[in-house]
Structure 1
Amino acid sequence: MKHFLLYILLLLTLTAHAQTGTIRGTVRAEGKVVPFASIGLKGTTLGTTADEQGNFALGKVPAGSHRLVSSAVGFLPAERTVTVAAGQTQQVNVSLNPSPNALGDVVVSGTLNEVVRSESPVAVELYSPKLFRKNPAVCLFENLTMINGVRPQLNCSVCGTGDIHINGLEGPYTMVLIDGMPLVSSLSTVYGLSGIPSSLIERVEVVKGPASTLYGSEAVGGLINVITKNPAKAPRFSADVLGTSHRDLNLDLGVARKVGSASTLLSTNLYHFDQRRDVNQDGFTDVPTQQRVSVFNKWTWARPEQQVANLAGRYYYEDRFGGQLNWTPEHRGQDSIYGESVYTSRYELLGQYQLPVRGQKLLLSGTFNQHNQNSVYGTTLYRASQRVGFGQLTWAKELSIRHNLLVGATYRTTWYDDNTPATASASLDQPRNQPDLVRLPGAFVQDEWRLTPDATLLMGLRYDYNSRHGSILSPRLNYKWGRPDGSLVWRLGLGNGYRVVNLFTEDHAALTGSRQVVVQGNLRPERSWNANVNFTRFLQTRSGGTVTFDASAFYTYFTNKISPDYDTNSDQIIYRNLDGFAVSRGLTLNTDIAFSRPLKLLLGVTLLDVYRQERLVAGEPLRRVAQLHSPPFSGTWAVSYALEKLRLSLDYTGQVSSPMPLPVVPNDFRPSRSPWFALQNVQVTRKLREGLEVYGGLKNLFNFLPRHPLLRPFDPFDKRTAVDNPQGYSFDTSYNYAPVQGRRLFLGLRYSL
């Protein structure tokens, strides 16, 4: 009897085995293999991940017809029917199409958890280096001009420093992160974005609206998160060299390799430009000269259960000059020939380590950066040093299939010292500086509920204790409703942001020496409340093309807002907490169209109304003042056409801006608003062989140049104010709305192994 039972059991096992088969295949997209794609059978628990060559195998698949589902970051999910015969292997070739809007991509900026973008309750815009290659630039700061609603703004017409505006808000309201960590401090937003090699960037995530619940101070208007490449998946070697007819040269190099259980990526950016161009003939350089070097090294270690362990470092140095054409370093700080000379050096360290606690996801993150700046603006010397340390411990727990909890504790310290009144001693008996030290411990909790298969609710609350201003609470609420396939998504967000201000570290105009800085009263932290609605619609046409609409409406209300006042006194910049309120509201629309033929369109439009209602004199009614450098209408576009047989691709890109308010002085002969203008570019790319391509084109196609960016450039030290100066003008550099760079040819070579 015992042998009979064993026989029956063996027969059943063999019968079950005979009723299953195997699916093998390769995942490709546009002829190239797609590594690490996810493969699964719909309605079952069977699934696997493709290897580095895109190959996969699914075993013990029940005989019959199945729906094979494939997905990968940067591509649209694909489904196909596969019939499996008992005891046989079915060979399948899977083809994926690139996602024009990256609905299927993974994002982290909205919730600090890796989620598919269409599933994120927070609207996150995602941009890959492919977009930036349509109009190549020498740094990420310039690349961001291609993102709708994001405006890199030059604040000085001489030295070329600037900041990033999101939805019309000034640069200090934008937080810039690298791999989710606040490496880029307020002293160095531009310097942090300059010199990030293109070979290093995996993607750029943009969140518009307050994000202080997760990221704390500075994340008032929005955030930009630069995600770097995983060394284990990066090309073994990459190079990109770019030059223009203005005789500037940019070089990006990247090398990746495996060292035991670790993988490393070394990336370098070199930029050189030493031409003193003066097309508008005002005696000043149109574009500052620059010599820049940036070196980035990232390490990752393979650990059990894909636990995170990485460490990275970056060093950055820049020598930048703008001023009169006959200036030499011997004139630095003197009042004979005007020049603005900036020496910048900084280093950054960042790392993440998942604690080896079984069954728990505890992630420890830390960063440290030091920024040293030695600048001269005419005769004004500015020497500053800033050190920022940041630590964060998060615990992510899936309480149920519908309930995720995230808890975190953070600590941030900012040490700052300079030679301005910002750190001067209040005591005459103690002439030494008193460096500014701000400690910012905090804790946050985020609770995410999957209410139904279509609806998700996200609630968050953060508590920070600022050593200068005390306790600060930042709540937020987000709701998402959408179809499971991501083709239709509605999002509603309510959030709060705050910012602690250090004027002298973030406003270049306060340092130029052309105006006196006046700070009225004890400045209080700024607060903002934001409401936004986001709608995303994805359509697939009968001809095989795709159309994506992404629209948002937003409203942000500010209290205690601090804005520089250029109007009350033409010789001063006055800072004070606003006696009133400020508003930023508007609409954004992004449209991505990929035709079945090799034609793709990316169009973006932003409508803005940014203003403040303020009371300058007690007892007077509030008056409305428009935000400077904030165009009511702006747009971006990218039109791409591929000639596959010739291995050519054509790109036509650009940006357009409506008239925007500009800082003018009393009786200024220059318009108080800029004209309509568009900066347009064309590019041709020729693929020579796999991994090697040459590209070239024309920037600023119609040679647009702003007029009169400098006031009285012939008298930069105001030594002749009594001569031929009936209006009492003084030298000023703040009137700027577009780069003073005319039409120029560019040519580049890109290689990836």
Structure 2
Amino acid sequence: MRKGTFFYSQNFKKYMIQKIFTTILMIGISTSAMSQLMIRGVVKDKQSSETLPGAAVILQPSGQNAITDINGHFEIQYNEPMPVTIITSFIGYQTDTLKISDLPDQALTIKLSKSVDLKQVDIKSRRESTSISTISTINTTTITQQELLKAACCNLSESFETNPTVDVSFSDAVTGAKQIHMLGLDGIYTQIQTENLPLIYGLSSAYGLGFTPGPWIESIQINKGIGSVINGFESITGQLNIELKKPQSAERFFINGYGNNEGRMELNLQTAHNFKHHISTELLAHGSMNNLKMDDDGDGFLNQPLAKQINLYNAWHVAVPGKLEAQLKIHALYDNRIGGQKDFDYDRDYGKPTFYGVGIENKLFEVSTKTGTINPGKPYKSIALLTSSRLHQMDNYYGLKTYKGDQRSFYANTIYQTIIHDTRQYVRSGLSFRYNHYSEKSNDSAFYTNEIIPGAYTEYSYNDSKSVSFVAGLRADHHNKFGWMITPRIHFKYNFNQLTSIRLSTGTGWRTAHVYAENTSVFASSRQVIIADNLKPERAWNSGVNFTKKFQLFGHDAALNADYYYTTFMNQVIVDMEDIHKIQFYNLDGRSYSHYVQAELNIEPVQNLLLRMSYKYNQVKTTVSDKLVDKALTPKDKALFNVEYSIHDKSWSFDATAKYTGLSRIPGGGVNDNGYVIPSYSKKFMTLNAQVTKNFKKFSVYAGCENITNYTQKNPIIAAGEPFSDNFDASLIWGPLTGRMFYGGFRFTIK
């Protein structure tokens, strides 16, 4: 038995199973609950009536609390006798105290007045487009729709342009596929969900970032480090939860158009309607295309593949007051891309060693549901059921190589929530079930995988509503091939005051690797693919510390955020590209770890001028071919500087983002192979994006430029003139692939 694996003897398995399930079943059965809250309201600026997201609302004497969402709304469970005092506070505003003697039968409206400091200087406050919580026990940053509008956010992969935590880069130089990096590691170690349901996994790992249009997104929650056991076992470096627009609160009508000088055109349409009897629905539609062949660097290959996408989403929300809330969502997508050499013609060249072509076709259909019970007599108790069913088919070709994939998945999660003695102590527990069937074919090889993973979990949370809170969770999952896997996680937060907090977290996560689906770049080269037998689950331990401080600077809001996270793998599927003619996949035999440090400062030196500055350093090493080396294609450091300015009435806004990317090691570098030189390290580079937006009452137009510095990676494709030779490789990507790009668009809204 190798050191670091997580398997047990039969006797110990039985003992652990009995103990875990006994504990969980004593607490309750279910998972990740929908909010069943009794006191609802909205917090607004008293003078402008603008809603205030991030305001703290506390009930006394119980200490129950909530933070207002991006629309300024809050909901708090209530189970104490009347009267109750509601204390509302927000940085830059006077604290409001409201005493109520009877339970309100409608939502409250709380208006706050701006505060004045001892020198009688006006303290200005603003609606944060990106908020860093000092209340949540888990280290959470929320990106609002306001932040997404600061750049050409055409899809999820382009939603992090102004965020320093999540990095996005191209996977290769021919398919247009993108990947994220978080805490210095690949995106496969980040759990990506939409409204707490699985979003990107399996076949969608390579191209799924392009399957969620930006205008559909209401907000994105970024949880750094290990997440909650309620949402599953996969999270190792963090969780991304995408909140889409809701049927009950979405605009009645919205249309967005976009185009750029490289031939990309997009149209997004949204319509929503609230029926009587607490029923609402919305329809989101997206269409995009790119029919312009461009080859800026003259290597004969397209900058980006020609593409077409049709994407439809329909959601329904039903509420039975005092009893039930339910959601039904249906998602259908067709995505087709054709890339490769500019002169490739499918009818003439497919399957022949003439011109190199790439074809990517994705068909996806998904149905998901959420159902939650409401107990007015005991509002602290709730039960919810979340389900998701997915069918995904992929049909690809890369030169003479082919790949076909078929995925059929089902996910279910139940959540039971209750308190222990009082509302300072909550327990959430439940059962989950996952089924994944994968059928993959590549040329003359075929792979079939069936995963059946039932699981159970319990999570205890404590919050004294003053300074201390912590969350401790444990889950047990049984994989039909690898047996029982135990996942413990702990989060702790201490508030020095309302605006200053420190967090500690530690725990494990695990996942199973899907080599071809998660590494499509293996097809974009002539490398021989070697996959070891009996690849084991990837498992890692992640620990971290976070410090958050909000304060006043220059009479305006400011925030400082600092992180350190350490990830060490007990097992990892190594992607070994050190031999330039091979790519090997095998289990870790040695050490693999990541040290991640990041500091971020947000300030407003003058009114309406917002600055964001960040720097992060990665030390990521892994054992490859018995040597501990820097992880390939992972920059040592990165920096971001974002400027946002809007005139007083917000009719005009200006945004600019500069990014610095440091050196990264190129696998197999430092060689000259048949005249093709592969350097040992990448180059340092900077990029600059800018956008200007003109806002009218219901209409806005915007224009911008990406990669103003026009920096691109030189010769990203090795042996581009010989795509069918043994030297061809389009997978060693570390920099931008396209140069300066201009774009423009419009948005029209009827609320």
TM-score (norm 1): 0.83
1:473 Cα deviation from its structure 2 partner: 0.5
- Contact kept, 8 Å, 1:195 with 1:269, in 2: the verdict is no
Residue 595 to residue 267, structure 1, CA distance change in 2 (3 Å): farther
Amino acid at match of 1:215: N
Residue 536 of structure 1, aligned match among 548, 571, 585: 548
Residue 160 of structure 2, aligned match among 135, 144, 151: 144
Cα distance in 2 for partners of 1:214, 1:573 equals 36
1:100 corresponds in structure 2 to: 128
Residue 344 to residue 442, structure 1, CA distance change in 2 (3 Å): same
Q: After the TM superposition, which residues 728-739 of structure 1 pair with which residues of structure 2 at under 5 Å, given as runs?
A: 730-739=727-736
Residue 520 to residue 292, structure 1, CA distance change in 2 (3 Å): same
2:198 corresponds in structure 1 to: 182
2:634 corresponds in structure 1 to: 630
2:24 corresponds in structure 1 to: none
Report the count of equivalent residues: 671
1:153 corresponds in structure 2 to: 169
1:547 and 2:544 matched: no
Moved more, 316-325 or 326-335: 326-335
Residue 415 to residue 53, structure 1, CA distance change in 2 (3 Å): closer
Amino acid at match of 1:565: D
Tell me, what secondary structure is at the counterpart of 1:232?
A: coil
Residue 93 to residue 418, structure 1, CA distance change in 2 (3 Å): closer
- Contact kept, 8 Å, 1:213 with 1:497, in 2: the verdict is no
Residue 702 of structure 1, aligned match among 696, 699, 709: 709
1:386 Cα deviation from its structure 2 partner: 0.5
- Contact kept, 8 Å, 1:263 with 1:301, in 2: the verdict is yes
User: 1:296-353 deviations in whole A, cap 9, x for unaligned?
Assistant: 1111112223843111111111111211111122123332110111111101211110
1:120 Cα deviation from its structure 2 partner: 1.9
1:697 Cα deviation from its structure 2 partner: 1.9
2:430 corresponds in structure 1 to: 408
User: 1:404-437 deviations in whole A, cap 9, x for unaligned?
Assistant: 101021000100002139973xxxxxxxxx7311
Residue 449 of structure 2, aligned match among 427, 432, 436: 436
1:82 Cα deviation from its structure 2 partner: 9.5
1:401 Cα deviation from its structure 2 partner: 2.4
1:355 Cα deviation from its structure 2 partner: 3.5
2:358 corresponds in structure 1 to: 340
2:747 corresponds in structure 1 to: 750
Cα distance in 1 for partners of 2:259, 2:581 equals 41
Cα distance in 2 for partners of 1:303, 1:603 equals 46
1:113 corresponds in structure 2 to: none
1:519 and 2:531 matched: yes
Residue 165 of structure 1, aligned match among 181, 201, 213: 181
Q: After the TM superposition, which residues 291-440 of structure 1 pair with which residues of structure 2 at under 5 Å, given as runs?
A: 291-305=308-322, 307-330=324-347, 331-355=349-373, 359=378, 360-399=381-420, 400-420=422-442, 424=446, 435-440=448-453
- Contact kept, 8 Å, 1:636 with 1:656, in 2: the verdict is yes
1:507 Cα deviation from its structure 2 partner: 0.8
1:468 and 2:481 matched: yes
Amino acid at match of 2:567: T
1:577 corresponds in structure 2 to: 587
Residue 586 to residue 422, structure 1, CA distance change in 2 (3 Å): farther
Tell me, what secondary structure is at the counterpart of 1:745?
A: strand
**Identity over the aligned pairs, expressed in percent?**
24
Amino acid at match of 2:488: P
- Contact kept, 8 Å, 1:211 with 1:497, in 2: the verdict is no
2:515 corresponds in structure 1 to: 503
1:642 Cα deviation from its structure 2 partner: 1.4
Cα distance in 2 for partners of 1:563, 1:633 equals 23
Q: After the TM superposition, which residues 180-259 of structure 1 pair with which residues of structure 2 at under 5 Å, given as runs?
A: 180-211=196-227, 213-259=229-275
1:684 and 2:692 matched: yes
User: 1:477-516 deviations in whole A, cap 9, x for unaligned?
Assistant: 111101452x001000011111211212211133346222
1:184 Cα deviation from its structure 2 partner: 2.2
Cα distance in 2 for partners of 1:742, 1:490 equals 42
Cα distance in 2 for partners of 1:29, 1:413 equals 51
Cα distance in 2 for partners of 1:36, 1:490 equals 22
1:591 corresponds in structure 2 to: 601
Tell me, what secondary structure is at the counterpart of 1:130?
A: helix
1:6 corresponds in structure 2 to: none
- Contact kept, 8 Å, 1:558 with 1:581, in 2: the verdict is yes
1:216 Cα deviation from its structure 2 partner: 3.3
1:457 and 2:473 matched: no
Tell me, what secondary structure is at the counterpart of 1:297?
A: strand
Residue 441 to residue 165, structure 1, CA distance change in 2 (3 Å): same
Cα distance in 2 for partners of 1:210, 1:54 equals 28
1:263 and 2:276 matched: no
1:128 and 2:144 matched: yes
1:650 and 2:668 matched: no
Cα distance in 2 for partners of 1:738, 1:36 equals 36
Tell me, what secondary structure is at the counterpart of 1:131?
A: helix
1:714 corresponds in structure 2 to: 721
User: 1:520-539 deviations in whole A, cap 9, x for unaligned?
Assistant: 23211121111100000000
- Contact kept, 8 Å, 1:33 with 1:53, in 2: the verdict is no
Cα distance in 1 for partners of 2:97, 2:572 equals 58
1:20 corresponds in structure 2 to: none
1:481 and 2:494 matched: yes
Moved more, 188-197 or 709-718: 188-197
Cα distance in 2 for partners of 1:625, 1:564 equals 13
Amino acid at match of 1:371: H
Residue 410 to residue 80, structure 1, CA distance change in 2 (3 Å): closer
Residue 288 to residue 300, structure 1, CA distance change in 2 (3 Å): same
Amino acid at match of 1:682: A
- Contact kept, 8 Å, 1:211 with 1:496, in 2: the verdict is no
Amino acid at match of 2:396: S
Tell me, what secondary structure is at the counterpart of 2:493?
A: strand
2:305 corresponds in structure 1 to: 288
Gaps of 5+ in 1: 1-23, 57-65, 85-90, 105-116, 425-433, 617-622, 719-728
2:81 corresponds in structure 1 to: none
Amino acid at match of 1:182: P
Cα distance in 2 for partners of 1:307, 1:505 equals 39
Tell me, what secondary structure is at the counterpart of 1:435?
A: strand
Tell me, what secondary structure is at the counterpart of 2:157?
A: helix
Moved more, 118-127 or 193-202: 193-202
User: 1:274-297 deviations in whole A, cap 9, x for unaligned?
Assistant: 111111000110111211121111
Residue 645 to residue 447, structure 1, CA distance change in 2 (3 Å): closer
Cα distance in 2 for partners of 1:310, 1:646 equals 35
1 or 2 for the larger relative contact order (CA 8 Å, sep ≥6)?
Answer: 2
Residue 661 to residue 375, structure 1, CA distance change in 2 (3 Å): same
- Contact kept, 8 Å, 1:141 with 1:190, in 2: the verdict is no
- Contact kept, 8 Å, 2:301 with 2:340, in 1: the verdict is yes
- Contact kept, 8 Å, 1:300 with 1:311, in 2: the verdict is yes
1:562 and 2:566 matched: no
Cα distance in 2 for partners of 1:164, 1:48 equals 31
Amino acid at match of 1:560: N
Amino acid at match of 2:473: G
Cα distance in 2 for partners of 1:39, 1:120 equals 11
Cα distance in 2 for partners of 1:92, 1:307 equals 27
Residue 702 to residue 305, structure 1, CA distance change in 2 (3 Å): same
Gaps of 5+ in 2: 1-40, 75-83, 101-108, 115-124
Amino acid at match of 2:372: Q
Amino acid at match of 2:388: T
- Contact kept, 8 Å, 1:100 with 1:593, in 2: the verdict is no
State the structure with more CA Rg: 1
Tell me, what secondary structure is at the counterpart of 2:159?
A: helix
1:119 Cα deviation from its structure 2 partner: 2.5
